[in-house]
Structure 1
């Protein structure tokens, strides 16, 4: 009682769908025209047209609207494309795991994180993970939550440490970790650095550096401006890189907002000054995010336990038992640094 039964037509649909049709839909979404999608897949346009008609017949409804000589996804087409992206992500994960089994490697773990979690929680959990799995290859992407969620959906990442932004088009399991404060920062020699108390109006006299549109931090700052009935300053610099932001404010009179934990660390090292102004709005808590419809590997399970403080890292003695002579582990970090 209260359960949702499986659709009786699903087995028939699975029998009629082909992976080539999935690839065609994703190619059309990427290339925006049927001709370009056909070229990408190495097939003729008439063959692509026929395949698209077969897919629409299998699904029982059209997926595109004709706009001039091109095609535009309708509501059904957008839904189908979203699910097909999830299938492609599953295939990416499967292909990666099969490749690791063929090579006999210790496996690979791909995690994405916002910048705020990097100095403490993320680093501690990763170091603990490497103690448990010395031969594990680890790939780290540091970006904004919205972009990391897109990579989680597509199967590029296995775990994300970030915020649940908007309404994801796939089911995720979110476990909060902690709230994150924000700090208004300027260079050490900025005029505002000499003031004990700063009002919002004083901040409007200077140029600003903001996160890109769509990021949670950008939304909070825009809300702050609306609360003061003020428009965003003209000539904005938009970047998701905290490193670039800090370098810019150190050499100018620009104003920026970065995670409070990072601001305090950089202020202690004399890299910047924290302005005595408290932002009214705060970011929601960040936490771990994994897809509900995908199984995760043992390294990911161990990482999540460490991240949430549920398991102490094993010591070097325990770690050495897993090490193999002649093999080396690797850690890769994406160049883009965002929060």
Structure 2
């Protein structure tokens, strides 16, 4: 289809349909017109006609055929980016309308990595509730990579975590404000064999003799562990347990002489209460800073702005 100059913005708004927006997003995910049509509950012929009408409206073909699939061309990439922003704004609109249905009290959806919970998050939440006593707050504690995916999907308003790296670069659709750093330590039960007799330093080889508890693959702290393994030309020990829950990790440490990798700020209170001990091993690799992450193309409401201010002023 030969390209032609697009019409005015008004003409585009009059002709563009939200179903067409959903189709482009579905094709990008499914990579085939058939798969996109099935996900939207329509026939392939109807999806093909809808795509043709959209390309006519925009004056540009959006896809190149690669085998049996579809691949976005440069014009398609531009359109996809705009449609993703539109989806994000619709998610924000849905959230704001839901707040109105709650009588104006509103709801804040926060994703947070565990390192920020005892040091920053709780203080910020307490102070935020003083300013907005009717505000409902939902907190999801998980790894940064998972939380940022939820942010991009509109499930969260703000993430307290580390900016994931995708394809060698930071996520371009997110804004990041650094708050603090953290180190990872290995911990074990107070009566673990590695602590008998007391040593000033434990070798990495000695750690490999016991089953490990780690955060799931893809999380920043897991990447530090994998870099450490690579530096020592070692494979992960057998019997590995993966969990994002510090509660699960702390309870598992009492069994089978397991050891776990957790943030130092989380480990210290557990050690002070005699629940576990920090092993004398210093990692060669460190984590990147963590901070506040919001979506670049989504409106930040007043309660979220105040929460971000409280998180930043806490450091």
Smaller-chain TM-score bracket: 0.7 to 0.9
5 Å-filtered alignment, 1:155-166, equals 155-166=154-165
- CA 1:127–1:308 in structure 2 vs 1: closer, same or farther (change >3 Å)? same
Partner Cα separation in structure 1 for residue 252 and residue 77 of structure 2: 40
Partner Cα separation in structure 2 for residue 84 and residue 302 of structure 1: 29
Structure 2 residue corresponding to 1:180, chosen from 163, 182, 190: 182
- When structure 1 is superposed on structure 2, of 48-57 and 183-192 the one drifting more is 48-57
- Calculate the aligned-residue CA RMSD, in Å: 2.8
Q: Check if 1:152 corresponds to 2:154.
A: no
Identify which of structures 1 and 2 has the higher relative contact order when contacts are C-alpha pairs closer than 8 Å and 6+ apart: 1
5 Å-filtered alignment, 1:1-20, equals 11=9, 17-20=16-19
Counterpart position of 1:131 = 130
- The count of corresponding residues between Structure 1 and Structure 2 is 303
Give how far 1:270 is off. 2.2
Partner Cα separation in structure 2 for residue 10 and residue 110 of structure 1: 38
Partner Cα separation in structure 2 for residue 305 and residue 98 of structure 1: 24
- When structure 1 is superposed on structure 2, of 84-93 and 72-81 the one drifting more is 72-81
SS at match of 2:294: strand
Q: Check whether the contact 2:182–2:264 (CA below 8 A) recurs between aligned residues.
A: yes
Counterpart position of 2:90 = 91
Q: Check whether the contact 2:188–2:279 (CA below 8 A) recurs between aligned residues.
A: yes
- CA 1:56–1:146 in structure 2 vs 1: closer, same or farther (change >3 Å)? farther
Q: Check if 1:206 corresponds to 2:205.
A: no
- When structure 1 is superposed on structure 2, of 19-28 and 183-192 the one drifting more is 19-28
- When structure 1 is superposed on structure 2, of 10-19 and 208-217 the one drifting more is 10-19
Structure 1 residue corresponding to 2:286, chosen from 274, 278, 282: 282
Partner Cα separation in structure 1 for residue 257 and residue 80 of structure 2: 46
Q: Check if 1:52 corresponds to 2:54.
A: no
Counterpart position of 2:277 = 273
Partner Cα separation in structure 2 for residue 237 and residue 56 of structure 1: 50
Q: Check whether the contact 1:209–1:237 (CA below 8 A) recurs between aligned residues.
A: yes
5 Å-filtered alignment, 1:1-339, equals 11=9, 17-29=16-28, 34-57=33-56, 58=58, 60-63=60-63, 65-68=65-68, 71-74=69-72, 81=80, 83-166=82-165, 167-194=169-196, 195-196=198-199, 197-309=201-313
- When structure 1 is superposed on structure 2, of 279-288 and 204-213 the one drifting more is 204-213
Give how far 1:90 is off. 1.5
Give how far 1:18 is off. 2.4
Given the two structures, how large is their TM-score scaled by the length of structure 1? 0.79
- When structure 1 is superposed on structure 2, of 17-26 and 49-58 the one drifting more is 49-58
User: Structure 1 unaligned runs (5+)?
Assistant: 1-6, 312-339
User: Structure 2 unaligned runs (5+)?
Assistant: none
Q: Deviations over 1:56-115 (max 9, x none)?
A: 4537234353544xx354465677556534322210110121232244321111111111
Partner Cα separation in structure 2 for residue 10 and residue 140 of structure 1: 43
